[in-house]
Amino acid sequence: MRRHPKMQLSFLRPWAPHILSILRILAAATFLTHGTMKLLGWPAPFPYPLNGLLYVAAILEIVGGLLLIVGLFTRPVAFILSGQMAVAYFMGHAGQGFFPVLNGGEAAMLFCFVFLYIAAAGPGPWSADAAAGRD
């Protein structure tokens, strides 16, 4: 099947590495706020009491989020955070129903796969890893 060239959005191709950097930064900044809610009550108080597992999750969200924002140790950090979100999904959401939109697990599922993609694709050009030649 032959595709029409304009339908491929080929004009975006040169921007793909930079869009990857933007995806990494925005996903990490959003993820970071989940940790700051748990530990610092910012930007809003966390609505549940913290237990040991949530405390560890908060540390991973803050430290991992900061590392991903700057793009430092991107691949291993993104892989660890992807695993954290898979665990969060199956422990906290999957038992409440099959569909993520109904079990409240949309964010965990999306973070899991965005971080897995970043672990595979790397940080993009706007990162400390790229600046140090570690991509």
Tens digits of per-residue pLDDT, 83-116? Answer: 999 999 999 999 999 999 999 999 999 999 999 9
Contact indicator for 101, 110 with CB cutoff of 8 Å: no
| pLDDT per residue as tens digits for the range 17-38 | 999 999 999 999 999 999 999 9
Q: What is the dihedral of CA 85, 59, 42, 122, to 10 degrees?
A: -60
DSSP secondary structure letter of residue 96: G
CA 125 to chain centre: 17
pTM over cut 0.85: yes
Separation CA 125–CA 17 (nearest Å): 6
